[in-house]
């Protein structure tokens, strides 16, 4: 497991601490998504993740400091035993697929079952279809992802591009808001939920050739 420098330099003062596990098949772009979220950069050539990488970013939402610990897991089968051990302590899971590779979308139910098996009972799950910049090579319709999300009661589906900075922050902010709403007491600090509405209704948005649109499913 590797610790990023931003993790070392993390601010100790925060109102909420959330652990998010990022899972999905190999090469769907999990590491690129996390790197973009934590450092704002996109690096084309990535090495496959070995085991689990840990990184962190602090967000400010509704005047509260929210620390997002992101556990970026290896998609390769040979690391499955290691990655499974990180599910238990996570508050939420983001399942990523590559919308240009249908097989990675067809694996999503498998990842959901992994969460059900190894994660906490009330884990919040979000689905992201990455590489939406390659819309001309799309092999997964956004509507299909919506249908799957509704079937499994997932929080939301967003299509993202780490390469073109689409919807990356939105994924984590949406997740943070949902977790803030669900956790009646902050894990650390003395913040209260106050004005935060409890909103678990699905938010299903796709960027790309058509504008940000609500799913009609
Ligand atoms: N076009 C495009 N390519 C991307 C995007 N995100 C990642 N990639 C590419 O996809 C490949 C895999 O990215 P990674 O982030 O290493 O994939 P991963 O899911 O972390 O893979 P594992 O660590 O093996 O599980 C790399 O060559 C990236 O450059 C994106 O948004 N658009
Ligand atoms: Mg990776």
Give me the CATH number covering residue 207. 3.40.50.300
**141 contacts: CB under 8 Å, gap ≥ 6:** none
Residue 116 predicted with pLDDT over 80 = yes
| Contact between 75 and 49 (Cβ < 8 Å) | yes
pLDDT tens, 163-183? Answer: 999 999 999 999 999 999 998
Provide the token pair at 42.
């996109």
HSE value, Cβ hemisphere, 13 Å, CA-based, for 118: 18
- Specify the pLDDT at position 205: 60
Tell me which residue has its CA closest to atom 30 in ligand 1.
Answer: 131
The larger pLDDT score, comparing residue 118 to residue 9, is at 118
Beta bridge mates, 58: 67
Distance between CA 77 and CA 208 in Å, rounded?
31
Among the residue ranges 9-13, 98-102, 113-117, the one predicted with the least confidence is 9-13
Cβ proximity of 158 and 215 under 8 Å: no
Of the two residues 209 and 143, the one the predictor is more confident about is 143
CB-based contact 60:130 (threshold 8 Å): no
DSSP summary character for residue 116: H
Q: Determine the number of helices (DSSP H) and then strands (DSSP E) in the chain.
A: 7, 9
**pLDDT tens digits, one per residue of 121-170:** 989 999 999 999 999 999 999 999 999 999 999 999 999 999 999 999 99
Show the domain range for 43: 3-216
> Is the pLDDT assigned to residue 60 strictly greater than 90?
yes
**pLDDT of residue 30 exceeding 50:** yes
Q: Which of 1, 27, 114 to mutate to test the pocket of ligand 1 (most atoms within 8 A of CB)?
A: 27
Residues with C-beta less than 6 Å from any ligand 1 atom: 26-32, 44, 46, 48-49, 74-76, 130-131, 133-134, 161-163
Q: How many residues does the chain have?
A: 217
Overall number of domains in the chain: 1
What pTM value is reported for the model?
Answer: 0.86
Which of 2, 22, 31 has most ligand 1 atoms within 8 Å of CB, for mutation? 31
The confidence band for 11, taking pLDDT boundaries of 50, 70 and 90, is low
């Amino acid at each position: 497991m590797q610790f990023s420098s931003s993790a070392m330099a993390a601010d100790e003062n925060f109102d909420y601490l959330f652990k998010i596990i990022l899972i999905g098949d190999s090469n769907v772009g999990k590491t690129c998504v996390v790197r973009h979220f934590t450092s704002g950069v996109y690096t084309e050539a990535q090495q496959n993740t070995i085991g689990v990488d840990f990184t962190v970013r602090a967000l400010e939402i509704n005047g509260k400091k929210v620390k997002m610990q992101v556990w970026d897991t290896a998609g390769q089968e040979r690391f499955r035993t290691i990655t499974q051990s990180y599910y238990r302590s996570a508050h939420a899971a983001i399942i990523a697929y590559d919308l240009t590779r249908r097989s990675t979308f067809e694996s999503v139910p498998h990842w959901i079952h992994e969460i059900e098996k190894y994660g906490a009972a009330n884990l919040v799950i979000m689905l992201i279809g990455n590489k939406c910049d390659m819309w001309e090579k799309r092999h997964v319709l956004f509507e299909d992802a919506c249908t799957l999300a509704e079937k499994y009661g997932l929080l939301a589906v967003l299509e993202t591009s780490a390469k073109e900075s689409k919807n990356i922050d939105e994924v984590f902010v949406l997740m943070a808001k949902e977790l803030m709403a669900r956790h009646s007491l902050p894990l650390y600090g003395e913040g209260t939920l106050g004005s935060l509405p409890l909103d678990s209704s699905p938010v299903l948005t796709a960027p790309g050739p058509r504008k940000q649109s609500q799913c009609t499913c």
